[in-house]
């Protein structure tokens, strides 16, 4: 597996990571834990060494799953987890909103270390910016955790360029995580230039648009009530036909190159910059293998310009998140 460097702090990871969120929801019911543990170990065997989780996934069950499954290879992998939501650390109750008070960051970190069965977290992200806590205080708290050896790298998720700059001035930010794909191009406007300037890596989540860019979601697809996508505006039936125009573009290039739409979507991201490491998620081995195949898709940067430019001209309607979730991003 090709390696990539995230940021300027020395963190090197596989060119593709594995987003583990959906192993415990929310695109349906939680998967069978032992089956997911096998998939995690198979990912390692296939060359993946970068795994993304969070206290909020479950809550807590996702971190526990990774801790058990990756314990035999802990020294061979990079585990990223996150703090920042207001979750009761004893009961897992979601109290709503965000919480990045320094004492809460410390408590979440200690709890994550126990759940992961490790003495350090390789990459600790602030999951969502807390407007009530200066980002300098957040960065300073993580800096202290790094100095204590409990954390090795600092990351931010869904933060604004201004917030990234302020945090980076206190503790160098190794990676920013946010959504980025052929379906959602907003980071190109301001964020990617800032990351390039500061030497910060970028970890796109939902590189396949929560499954949309695989081409498997059709005009008549119905989502179960417990599936998060049933509440996401851009998946609504009323806008589905307009968004499927993007799939037509991707499928045309995929057919020409004898690869899958998913491999085109991920390959396009990989071609944008050598410091971008997407983290597609899956609960199936065959999809994991397909996604990893995108690293070897032989398409030049010039060839990737065409679908990117064509996609940018499309009117792709619908917000990427429900209104309440959107209110928590971009601070």
Q: Please, which pLDDT band fits residue 249 given cuts at 50, 70 and 90? A: very high
pLDDT at res. 157? 98
Q: What percent of the chain stands above pLDDT 90?
A: 94
Question: What is the model's pTM?
Answer: 0.97
**Segment holding 285, helix H or strand E:** helix 285-292
pLDDT at res. 299? 76
Give pLDDT tens digits for 86-109: 999 999 999 989 999 999 999 999
The reply to whether 57 belongs to the active site is yes
Q: What are the two backbone dihedrals, phi and then psi, of residue 151, each rounded to the nearest 5 degrees?
A: -135, 145
Write down the CATH number for the domain with range 3-326: 3.20.20.100
Sequence-distant (6+) residues with CB within 8 A of 118 are 67, 74, 79
Among 57, 125, 180, 184, the one annotated catalytic: 57
Q: Please, which pLDDT band fits residue 307 given cuts at 50, 70 and 90? A: confident
Sequence-distant (6+) residues with CB within 8 A of 157 are 82, 84, 125, 126, 127, 128, 176, 177, 178
pLDDT at res. 298? 73
pLDDT at res. 301? 75
């Amino acid at each position: 597996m090709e390696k990539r460097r995230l940021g300027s702090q020395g963190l090197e990871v596989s060119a593709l990571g594995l987003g583990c969120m959906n192993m415990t929801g929310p695109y349906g019911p939680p998967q069978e834990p032992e089956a997911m543990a096998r998939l995690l170990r198979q990912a390692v065997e296939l060359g993946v060494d970068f795994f993304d989780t969070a206290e909020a996934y479950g809550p807590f069950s996702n971190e526990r799953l990774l801790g058990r499954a990756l314990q035999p290879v802990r020294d061979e992998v990079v585990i990223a987890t996150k703090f920042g939501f207001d979750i009761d650390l004893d009961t897992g109750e979601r109290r709503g909103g965000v919480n990045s008070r320094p004492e809460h960051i410390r408590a979440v970190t200690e709890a994550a270390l126990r759940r992961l069965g490790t003495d350090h977290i390789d990459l600790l992200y602030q999951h969502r910016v807390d407007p009530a806590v200066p980002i300098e205080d957040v960065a300073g708290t993580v800096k202290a955790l790094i100095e204590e050896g409990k954390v090795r790298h600092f990351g931010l998720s869904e933060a604004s360029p201004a917030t990234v700059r302020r945090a980076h001035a206190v503790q160098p930010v190794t990676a920013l995580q946010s959504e980025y794909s052929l379906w959602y191009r907003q980071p190109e406007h301001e964020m990617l230039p800032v990351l390039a300037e500061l030497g910060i890596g970028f970890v796109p989540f939902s590189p396949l648009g929560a499954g949309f860019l695989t081409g498997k979601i059709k005009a008549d697809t119905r989502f179960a009530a417990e599936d998060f996508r049933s509440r996401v505006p851009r998946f609504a039936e009323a806008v589905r036909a307009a968004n499927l125009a993007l799939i037509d573009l991707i499928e045309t290039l995929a057919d020409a190159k004898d690869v899958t739409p998913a491999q085109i979507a991920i390959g396009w991201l990989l071609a944008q910059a050598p410091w971008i490491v997407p983290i597609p998620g899956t609960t199936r081995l065959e999809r994991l293998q397909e996604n990893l195949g995108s690293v070897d898709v032989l398409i030049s940067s010039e060839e990737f310009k065409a679908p990117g430019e064509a996609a940018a001209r499309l009117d792709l309607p619908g917000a990427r998140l429900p209104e309440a979730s959107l209110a928590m991003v971009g601070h």
